[in-house]
Structure 1
């Protein structure tokens, strides 16, 4: 097999990926858009090129040997956005997982590394593919070297060979350096000859071939002005040629024979994809292992399988595992129950457990102390059998989550392995993986469940001790565990859905989509499939002659970002964008919600993730009711389908007003910010007054919008780049805006400096209720990793404390509703909002109780403020 070397310009491709894709971050808050874009391209390269050898080259730093020639080389470039900088180390981890070598060399650029290796490979008669977005590398093209140049974004690529260059650019590869010498390059601050553009430079080179010959024949060049420009800027032209010439003999330490590439381990790549949240790329990883993991030898464990339950085995203190197959436990059956006491271990088949009056009485006895894994899931599973478990004294899942919030896996075997206990197999070793997963025979299942239960019983004391050492035992016992039971009851209760109304919305949306389709067809002058980019592209860019923004391998790009840029070009665009938005509402939310409605109760039972986010916030899945789009009126109207479950009942919604900014004012102790909240001022107007130095009446809507963006941006550690993107202003303007903000609120800046210092000293930050977030990269020598950790240190206490507050409010409100003997009950938590249902006669009581409880759940130096609404549906309560 012939050798094929692929060389990738790492800096160029990650830059292009960053600016081509929306600014995305994963569930850990890490920005990943550039790495995601690079990785999708990498998978395609591996598939198309099938390299035998490979390397990704990076620039080593800002200063290179070219700066000795010209100090202003690459001068004027904007500082790399921190949102991109922090992705470089992540990209290198991805490359390591793929087993692809990467390299950088002090004082040299990626171009020089690529040029040196390409030259060496060419001498050995290897085929070489260079991938970059930088036209300078075209000088390397030859019969053996093809340069793949990205155009707009990273998906559109042109393959440059000498023949293609001659046809497209009218010059040969080695003339690229002469072309750049004449016309300069503003992106690298290469001067060239002012006033000479590509057209003139190409014309000169077609006639004289090289820069040297242009100057040798200066007298015969026509055009007085051109001759003058060339004559006056000769030194700049020759310096420019020197700057753009790629070094083919850089003192690199790597040799091409060391760059052999034989593929990657699907396991390693899958692991990093899962950690980064690249779920959509998992299916593209070739050769993914199938089947179960090999089982390890385990010591035998003694237990009995009970066919009848006697009182004497049920002690005052025991560990209990209610085993279910799969995550969706609202539908899943209990497969069996593990029980471990100080005397013995047992496996109880489901039928035996749920039909035993003795066992039910023990489970519902609050005096009997129970150690469980996932109290919420346990409660919901048993409630379906009319058993209301009480006496839960310890929750292993929540304990592990508080001790290790950055871990992804909190199941019993994983927790055990982290504690050095390997006597329990992972679930997939017992059940299998993917489509082949199934419940094993009873003896295998019983052994596995008992082992898990026994491990939980054994490590409970150790985990409790760790929580106490961290001052987190109270957080577990007083906040997370009581909340788990409330959430369990909310999940079990569910929210009633007016199916007829939801179906009618679906019909209305279909009609609206049909009307929009007709309007688009009329504007296009013909019928076509709106959902087909292949049919839509030619309509927009050939028939209607709209400007082409981006092309793909299969034709014109009609992606949302492309259509957004064309909004003002033709009325068809706005209708297409609306058609897509409404289409998503129809498929994801109308049809999606109808699929998950319980047919017996007409209710939706979402699941609340309590042990997922590192900030402590709750999320919801199956379905995600926190994410119903409300920017479009049609999206908001979906909430009309969520109605009270009782006749003459209402929905009541209460939400915290600007809770994160109030927490910031409290933590930072900033007087101006605190005063604004104490005086019940509009905080965004007040910020605009302070930052722009104007009176309240002079604050414009644009000023307030900018102030609002920076207010919320500060909470999330926004950079000048991030703010410039959200406000559509330059980075320079955004930087000034942030500086003026900190001048106006100096204690906020002090807080941020101090919290970073504190995090470096102790390795973590805490919320007002002692929730911890560990920041191992806060002292990293790597600037990018360290800066991300610093931003996380700043915003976690704010976001995490806000999450703590609403969790405590839910517990306090639940108790208050019970104390007042009200029928009202909580149904949902959506970020800073609580949704309840109640009989209409309890409205006046709720108006008094709910804000009072929520506003007084914790005492801050600024008042908490709660707004509420109520009505016939969730929509009316907003």
Structure 2
């Protein structure tokens, strides 16, 4: 009979796995969170599925352990932990404290030893023990009371081992795991083992001899002269390796079984931390036993209106368009709320849109409207042929500019932040997930009108705050007019040639089938190309390619590994291409065909205006800013984006190196400014300075590396990040960064000054006074502080570039209207504006676009715009 369930988690291993499995995410404070996010998803899964009575997360205490006394080179040669990961260790411990999960580390010992010792305690207490790790070494703990779950692919796929499964999978018993590891060694821990003995040979030997000791007693019976020699010559290494891989189950831990009893977590603390970390998607998974206490909110007086009349409006109306769907291009409008001095009116959607009085009011420029999300409101109304005018206040945009690091900008969240508590959160009214539903009319109208009332009440304090922050012109002259322009662009959409895209999909499928055949021919057999395990066996065991990197579960076949092997065998380039084309097919071709509007074959993306901390626009449903164009096949997807009319073309105006020009302006670096003023190629100029060569001696490779350094500086890249992008050592990468700062001292001075300024004020600003708050910049935690410093350096550059293109969009929209162009703005993609226009307007359009974009702001260096046009977006290059 079990006395409870003990779960032991290998903290270091899971964090490492999560870091390398997930893209480098960072939260709105600029702190990297990808490893913590991955760890949290696994922790939630464990709590939901295992329901442990006892729980412990074990960590390594430091670099030196008792194993170093046996072998000084233990774990030698390991690359230093990237700063992007090391800064997440304190965060994960903070997370565990919020979850009230005990965690423990012990000087001179590893997490494995803590787990091994604690699992022994658990067995003694007749508990079921589950160990969770990414490290195969822990399989030696498997027995009838201890299961070991290993992460297989990243952290999402796991495999659980009991004695039976271990024997089925590896053909050995748990006690033989140590001997197997002793024979085969472990590259990642620098455990030598016996050279040339891999997993298969080790298992074969143990099947025959049972133990390492018995193997060496009966060495004469080993078949194969070479193998016998290797075993003889490396006997000492084998026995030392056994010592190194053996988990110490008697480690002097001070924590006892009763200390790791798990009684659940405080829901509020966890939600608070999730909000801080930006884990919006995980919030809905938190289901503590604690009930959410909401105070009873008194009803307000609401009139449900069927026949709209003129005297309902005052010209200073809080106006809410309510819908539950996130995609407002297609979502159902539930109704409208109008709050003003005369009263609170709720109008059902069909009653409003069929009313001339409502339409007249909505389209009257002189009637002021206070709204939440001007873009969404205008787009949704345009579906009914109503052009909303007269928006003078947008609560979403005001909140975003004042609190760019906040994740929740819905009306109830903003109200609560402003100490207006008399409003329920949406999920309390509508439910969430599959349980979401529209309530009765009286509940719905109360909630909608409470929102409309908040628009009226919050306008004044929010505008005052913007004024105090010197952000009124940013709000009134940039973000608010842009919201309407973006709304028009979204509603208009962009034409998709569905037939051409479908045909591309078919061609790509044929191409993939052909590449697959080629890969199988080169491999001499068919296998699952998408299985890293099977691919690893083909590349490294069958084709004998050099092993670049091993993971805990076998050979690494990651993109960076394959890139290094490209010249070693023809199969590798084919595999890389197969992966890239497969992603294009599933994510982009099939993805676009799923979201195209069936009625008009147009794509209506949504531009997120109140999301990024830098002020950059992003695009969703679908993301048109992310179509991969480095690969010709990816670029060709743009052939499916065509003009609406015959004899029209797609025109693209693209800022050339805008972030580097902004850097030159903000930093005031004379060499950078001079290079841009003299129209020099900036990457060549950087290569000349970094490599100390004349312009004529700059090779294409030097220019490529200089380009990576240039953009790396802009994005606050670390030596680790630069080494990854250039495929060089971190030492070389750091040397490049140092040389860059020597060459451009003004940039170094700017970087130092902006960090100091951020430490004094707590924020940095763009050239248009957009703010980004950096509370971590004075943190005592080195990693958090240094990340905030990097963010302080690059945000003014990226944010100013975002401000400039937004200003250009507003100026261009005005010019197109004033000069009666038929041309229409379709998309904004990073530093590029995409327009469609009749051919006869192109000559004039070139002049206007260049003029507008190059003079959007005055900098110390000229802004340069490249433009092109063609029959499709692809041809406009």
Shorter-chain TM band: 0.7 to 0.9
SS in 1 for 2:828: strand
Q: Secondary structure at the match of 2:57?
A: strand
CA distance in 1, matches of 2:494, 2:185: 65
Q: CA deviation at 1:483?
A: 0.3
- How far does residue 648 in structure 1 lie from its aligned partner after superposition? 1.9
Q: CA deviation at 1:307?
A: 2.1
**How far apart, CA to CA, are the structure 1 residues paired with 2:388 and 2:446?**
24
CA displacement 1:571-622 (0-9 Å, x = unmatched):
4554454344334333433333233333333322111111111111111112
Shift of 1:802: 0.8
Which is worse superposed, 122-131 or 648-657? Answer: 122-131
Q: 1:602 to 1:268 in 2, by over 3 A?
A: farther
- Relative distance call for 1:405 and 1:351 in structure 2 (3 A) is same
Is it true that 1:401 corresponds to 2:400 in the alignment? yes
Deviates more, 1:597-606 or 1:547-556: 547-556
Q: Is 1:612 the equivalent of 2:611?
A: yes
Residue of structure 2 equivalent to 1:808: 807
Q: Contact 1:136/1:176 (CA < 8 Å) preserved in 2? A: no
- What is the CA deviation profile of residues 693-743 of structure 1, one whole-angstrom value per residue up to 9, with x for unaligned ones? 000111112211111111111111111111111111111111212111111
Distance (Å, rounded) in 2 between the aligned partners of 1:147 and 1:349: 57
Aligned to 2:55: 54
3-state SS of paired residue (1:488): helix
Measured on the aligned residues, the alpha-carbon RMSD in Å equals 4.9
- Conserved 8 A contact 2:605-2:622: yes
Matched, 1:330 2:337: no
State the alpha-carbon separation in 2 of the partners of residues 398 and 10 from structure 1.
40
Matches within 5 A, 1:88-167: 88-96=89-97, 98-104=99-105, 110=111, 113-114=114-115, 117-118=118-119, 120-121=121-122, 124=125, 126=127, 128=129
Question: After superposition, where does 1:416-495 map in structure 2 within 5 Å?
Answer: 416-495=415-494
Check if 1:701 corresponds to 2:700.
yes
Cα distance in 2 between the residues matched to 1:783 and 1:876: 49
Task: Identify the residue that residue 255 of structure 1 maps to in structure 2.
Answer: 256
The answer to whether the 8 A contact 1:521-1:527 is kept is yes
Tell me the equivalent position of 2:10. Answer: 9
2:437 counterpart SS class: coil
Question: Which deviates more from structure 2 when the two are superposed, residues 630-639 or residues 30-39?
Answer: 30-39
* Distance in structure 2 (CA, Å) of the matches to 1:756 and 1:875: 41
Q: Offset of 1:474 from its aligned partner? A: 1.5
Q: Given that residues 149 and 160 in structure 1 are in contact (C-alpha distance below 8 angstroms), is that contact kept between their aligned partners in structure 2? A: no
Q: Which residue of 2 aligns with 1:720?
A: 719
* Structure 1 match to 2:643: 644
CA drift at 1:862: 1.5
* Number of the residue aligned with 2:496: 497
Query: Contact conserved, 2:663 with 2:797, CA < 8 A, in 1?
Result: yes
Do structure 1's residue 768 and structure 2's residue 767 form an aligned pair?
yes
Are 1:308 and 2:315 an aligned pair? no
1:849-877 Cα offsets, whole Å, 9 max, x none, are 11111111111111111110011111111
What residue number does 2:297 align with?
A: 298
Please list, as runs of the form range in 1=range in 2, the aligned pairs for 1:674-685 lying within 5 A after superposition.
674-685=673-684
Q: Is the 8 A contact 2:188 2:551 kept in 1?
A: no
Residues 655 and 866 in structure 1, CA contact (< 8 A), matched pair in contact too: yes
- Report what 1:661 is aligned to: 660
Q: Which residue of 2 aligns with 1:218?
A: none
- Report deviation, 1:556: 9.9
Does the 8 Å CA contact 2:143/2:162 hold for their aligned counterparts? no
Equivalent of residue 206 in structure 1, options 205, 210, 213: 213
Aligned mates of 1:144, 1:697 — CA distance in 2: 71
Residue equivalent to 2:24: 24
Question: Equivalent residue for 2:369?
Answer: 370
Between 305-314 and 602-611, report the one with greater CA deviation: 305-314
SS in 1 for 2:809: helix
Report if the CA contact (8 A) 1:533-1:558 is conserved. no
**Number of the residue aligned with 1:220:** none
Structure 2 CA distance for aligned equivalents of residues 33 and 691 of structure 1: 33
CA distance in 2, matches of 1:546, 1:175: 25
Matched residues in 1 for 2:137 and 2:358: separation? 77
TM-score (norm 1): 0.84
Instruction: Quote the offset at 1:148 in angstroms.
Output: 7.0
Q: Which residue of 1 aligns with 2:876?
A: 877
Larger mean CA deviation between 139-148 and 742-751 belongs to: 139-148
Structure 1 residue ranges without an equivalent (≥5):
211-222
Query: Which residue does 1:861 correspond to in 2?
Result: 860
| More off after superposition, 603-612 vs 748-757 | 748-757
The 10-residue stretch of structure 1 (272-281 or 96-105) with the greater mean CA deviation from structure 2 = 272-281
Q: 1:324, CA displacement in angstroms? A: 2.1
Distance 1:527 1:71 in 2: 44
C-alpha distance 534-13 of structure 1, shift in aligned 2 (>3 A)? closer
- Distance change (3 Å), C-alpha of 1:445 and 1:280: closer
Residue 754 (structure 1) shift: 2.0
Shift in alpha-carbon separation, 1:468–1:185, aligned structure 2, 3 A: same
Query: 1:389-444, CA deviations, whole angstroms, 9 ceiling, x for partnerless residues?
Result: 21111000111111111222211111112222222222222223223323333322
CA contact (8 A) 2:321 2:335 kept: yes
Contact 1:649/1:839 (<8 A) preserved: yes
Moved more, 139-148 or 100-109: 139-148
Give the match's secondary structure for 2:424.
coil
* Residues 1:68 and 1:475: Cα distance change in structure 2 (over 3 Å): farther
CA–CA distance in structure 1, aligned partners of residues 793 and 562 of structure 2: 37
Aligned length: 853
Name the residue aligned to 2:225: none
Q: Output the CA distance in 2 between the equivalents of 1:372 and 1:170.
A: 65
SS at match of 1:757: helix
Shift of 1:346: 0.9
Tell me, yes or no, if structure 1 residue 413 matches structure 2 residue 419: no
Q: 1:134: Cα distance to partner? A: 6.9
Q: What SS class does the counterpart of residue 748 from structure 1 fall into?
A: helix
Q: Is the 8 A contact 1:537 1:555 kept in 2?
A: no
Structure 2 gaps of 5+ residues are 218-228
Q: What are the equivalent positions in structure 2 for 1:185-196 lying under 5 Å apart? A: none
State the alpha-carbon separation in 2 of the partners of residues 227 and 552 from structure 1.
27
Which residue of structure 1 aligns with residue 221 of structure 2?
none
The alpha carbon displacement at 1:796 in A equals 1.1
Give 3-state SS (helix, strand or coil) of 1:681's partner.
coil
Q: 1:541 and 1:473 mapped to 2: Cα distance? A: 60
CA distance in 2, matches of 1:566, 1:689: 30
